[in-house]
Structure 1
Amino acid sequence: MAADSMVQLVSYLTAQQPYEIVGTPESEWVDFKSVPPQGPYDLSTDRGKFELAKDVAAFSNAGGGLLVCGFKAKKKQTELHEVAEKVTPFDKRLVDSTKYKDIITEYVRPLLKVKFFWYDHPEDDLEASGHYFVIEVPALPEADRWAVVTRGITDDGQFIKNSWTVPIRNGDTTVFLPQDEVYRLLNDGLRARRGTKPAMSARAADRPGAREALRAALGMAETPVLFFQSVPDHPRGLLPGMYADGGLRDVLSNQDTLRNADAFNWASQHTRPEPREGGLLLTMSARGGLLIDADGGVTGAAAATPDMLGWAMEYYSGDGARRISVFVLTEITLEYFRLVDLQVMPLVDSTWTHRIVASDFTQAPARILAPGDDPAFPRRGAPQPATSNDWNHSWQALGDPERDAYQALRHIYALFGLDVTTNPFTDEGRVITARLQERRQ
């Protein structure tokens, strides 16, 4: 027997009939992985990380597919492709799906909504036991192609910094987009852009109108504000179920926050989200608020005042300047991406752009930030003043709240001439949620 489609292959695994899959050839939609002692991919090595990223990107460029772990494939002389010839189920402890997700998030662009599934081998089989691990890779929309692995690799299995590759599934193998083809695509893109409107530039995801509308609704026209903004790169029109039971309005009303609504997050005990031009507006008194556009785009505003970002910092500001609390800045930033990455982005099938805008931070009294922790704790260095009144930077959303929060803080710290690594709640490219929770136990 053999599976002739992704649906049939998954149905065999669901029904605990893995032997029906034996004889299935590898193709544009399926690749089989046997399982050595380190697991299907050895993520302790650069080569293992590259192989995982390469396989995922290649399938996304070829219309989607399945990476099926737990089958040995072999090419016979009479066959054109490798064929699943043996079941090799394995222990679940050999795969940490969180690490798999982190590798894909870090090394594949754009962000892909990869799914992971476990399937059981029949318990009454005396010849084999264990489980099968399947990675389902979605097809990348034509408008978003091509998926890129953000690292190349040497012959001895080491990452090459400042390099990238474009893998493509070709039958049962993976090849890489030739340099000449990359050159042609880049030039085609440049030619296509000539004569287009400025709105089609890299800042197309910027929505200054939403920021101004939110600022006006909050009565913060003269207040320094830190804006967070998240916009789908390819909006799909009205977001379905905005006001339905369990929809986005209910999500905003019952947020899953790290601490209660009096902490530094985007929840409110006193107001509910209100309908606004097909979207939602949630105000949080003098602290800030959220505006959800009809297509799911999100704008958040946090006041750079003692009510929010400068909470309990007046005593340490000096010379009339307003000091920003490192703890508050980090918590409100992480809470924004916990809300947007986990609750809003999955509702729109698109890549997304995140953005931070620090507005009026140099107006007197200037906003200042210091490396290290807040003054009540050991700290390093002197406070640094903001260097711009219109600090506007963006990045492609990673979909991981801790990583996106780190990217936001990296840009915010640069506004003050500081490196984000001086923030004690960050490490290895992410905000560490546990450190925030430990500080406020």
Structure 2
Amino acid sequence: MAADSPAHLISQLTRQQPQEILGTPESEWVDFKSIGPKGPYDLSTEKGKFELAKDVAAFANAGGGLIVCGLKAKQRPTELYEVAEKLTPFAKSLVNSTSYKDVIKEYVRPLLKVNYLWFDHPADDPDASGHYLVIEVAALPESDRWALVTRGLTEDGRFVKGSWTVPIRNGDTTANLSPDEAYRLLNDGLRVRREPGANAPAPAPPADRAKTRAALRARLDMDDVPVLFFQSTPDHPKGLLAGMYATGGLRDLLRNQDTLRDAHAFNFASVYHRPEAHEGGLLLMNPPRQGLSVESDGAVTAALAATADMLGWAMDRYQGGADSRISVFVLTEITLEYFRLVDEHVLPLVDGSWTHRIVASDFARPPARTLAAGDDPTFPLRGAPQTATSNAWNHSWHALGDPERDAYEALRHLYALFGLDVTDNPFTDGDRVSTTLLMTKQP
């Protein structure tokens, strides 16, 4: 079964089902790389360095995408594009991620957001073993286009000093911006800079739906308390989401959620409230603790009170806890539950890439919210609690489609608000939140 979106492909690799990706055509969002003796890219040659920089820049100039290393693609007679036809997992030792980062840093402008994701081949396969590498490239914002490679390449595979290339992903291939188009873009940019109002601040990115957060906060009567928001939006909305109210649709899903613990734990299920239709979407309200909104195009926003009712649950039992201290356990479980709900059940409904966002509002307002290393609320508490350093903490990342990894990204951004590293969280394992570790904890 071919993967039809970045989230779907990542999900199949996460579940160690790479064979389900076979048949996926290369496209504007995915490119497959087979493995040579030096790995997917031979960085000992100038050509290999150029190929890596070119491929990454091309996806950044499009809508972002995935370079999937460890699958061989071939064009079949009946296909328009090359499709993944063979699994070629390989040893991690063939890739030095630091060298990959250095090449991109040196040869691509501007600095791009690139993630390197490793996935295991099934251990019970007698015919193959190893790993897959996914190089995930985020799209450049329209205001920052275009990414360029600061080198050109001759026919004999040597760099040309002083040259540059603007690669563009075109279907399943990569083309270069023509000199005429580059000239037009340059002059258009100069013309805009000369026009009145050209120095006005750029509008907020479309994915940052601040109005939705404000409306949900008001409906929950949380205007006077610090609030943590999770938000997930499709980068290219397709309009009204089909089946929102159908049998087995999102409304039924919210009524009967598959949660780690029961509805009285830290999740978005409720035994007292039902999801209600609202402006073509859904609202699931559970004041004063939390609320969740699904917009008509599938975008999701969740609001959590940073008080003893929710994120500060049980912390008033301990000296210095009061209403301001956040429970590490509660924070971690509700974060993972949000991404289990959204990554597994909402992202697959809208093709294309998604953006996840975390916003901490009024966390530094007295009494400031605090967070500490260790396993709250186990006594004794580890370490002195650290105080939030901003009232408007707003960060986003390209959705990975893996709940444990997206939960880790959310916590990584939030921990920085308190001057802490996410590794201080006892429920993390590598680059993910561990469901196993979390479930050993009894609230």
Scaled by the length of structure 1, the TM-score of the pair is: 0.61
1:359-384 CA-to-partner distances (Å, cap 9, x unmatched) read 22233333211012214156542001
Counterpart position of 1:269: 271
Aligned partner of 2:384 among 376, 382, 385: 382
* Distance in 1 (alpha carbons) for counterparts of 2:35 and 2:389: 53
1:159-180 CA-to-partner distances (Å, cap 9, x unmatched) read xxxxxx9877899997888999
Kindly indicate whether residue 275 of structure 2 is the aligned counterpart of residue 281 of structure 1: no
User: For 1:270, what is the secondary structure of its paired residue?
Assistant: coil
Counterpart position of 1:365: 367
- Unpaired runs of at least 5, structure 2: 1-22, 42-47, 77-81, 92-100, 105-111, 116-126, 150-164
Computing the radius of gyration from Cα coordinates, the structure with the larger value is 1
- My pick for the range that moved more, 376-385 or 276-285, is 376-385
* Distance in 2 (alpha carbons) for counterparts of 1:227 and 1:36: 45
Aligned partner of 2:294 among 289, 292, 295: 292
Question: Contact 1:61/1:145 (CA < 8 Å) preserved in 2?
Answer: no
Aligned partner of 1:426 among 422, 425, 428: 428
1:327-366 CA-to-partner distances (Å, cap 9, x unmatched) read 1101111111121122212222343222222122233333
Counterpart position of 1:224: 226
1:190-241 CA-to-partner distances (Å, cap 9, x unmatched) read 9779868979645332222211211222222222211111222222222222
Question: Contact 1:330/1:409 (CA < 8 Å) preserved in 2?
Answer: yes
Shift of 1:317: 5.2
Matches within 5 A, 1:331-410: 331-376=333-378, 379-410=381-412
* Distance in 2 (alpha carbons) for counterparts of 1:408 and 1:256: 21
Which residue identity is paired with 1:256? D
Shift of 1:247: 1.5
Change beyond 3 A, Cα 1:236–1:259: same
* Distance in 2 (alpha carbons) for counterparts of 1:247 and 1:70: 35
Change beyond 3 A, Cα 1:178–1:291: same
* Distance in 2 (alpha carbons) for counterparts of 1:399 and 1:212: 26
Change beyond 3 A, Cα 1:110–1:176: farther
User: For 2:304, what is the secondary structure of its paired residue?
Assistant: strand
- My pick for the range that moved more, 385-394 or 270-279, is 385-394
Question: Contact 2:167/2:174 (CA < 8 Å) preserved in 1?
Answer: yes
* Distance in 1 (alpha carbons) for counterparts of 2:199 and 2:256: 41
Kindly indicate whether residue 416 of structure 2 is the aligned counterpart of residue 414 of structure 1: yes
* Distance in 1 (alpha carbons) for counterparts of 2:66 and 2:378: 53
Question: Contact 1:321/1:368 (CA < 8 Å) preserved in 2?
Answer: no
Change beyond 3 A, Cα 1:341–1:110: farther
Matches within 5 A, 1:137-286: 201-286=203-288
Counterpart position of 1:314: 316
1:105-143 CA-to-partner distances (Å, cap 9, x unmatched) read x999799xxxxxxxxxxxxxxxx9xxxx9x9xxxx9xx8
* Distance in 2 (alpha carbons) for counterparts of 1:231 and 1:27: 22
Amino-acid identity (%)? 62
Scaled by the length of structure 2, the TM-score of the pair is: 0.61
- Unpaired runs of at least 5, structure 1: 1-17, 19-25, 43-47, 74-83, 97-105, 112-127, 151-164
* Distance in 1 (alpha carbons) for counterparts of 2:148 and 2:436: 30
User: For 2:335, what is the secondary structure of its paired residue?
Assistant: helix
Change beyond 3 A, Cα 1:234–1:196: farther
Change beyond 3 A, Cα 1:433–1:56: farther
Change beyond 3 A, Cα 1:400–1:307: same
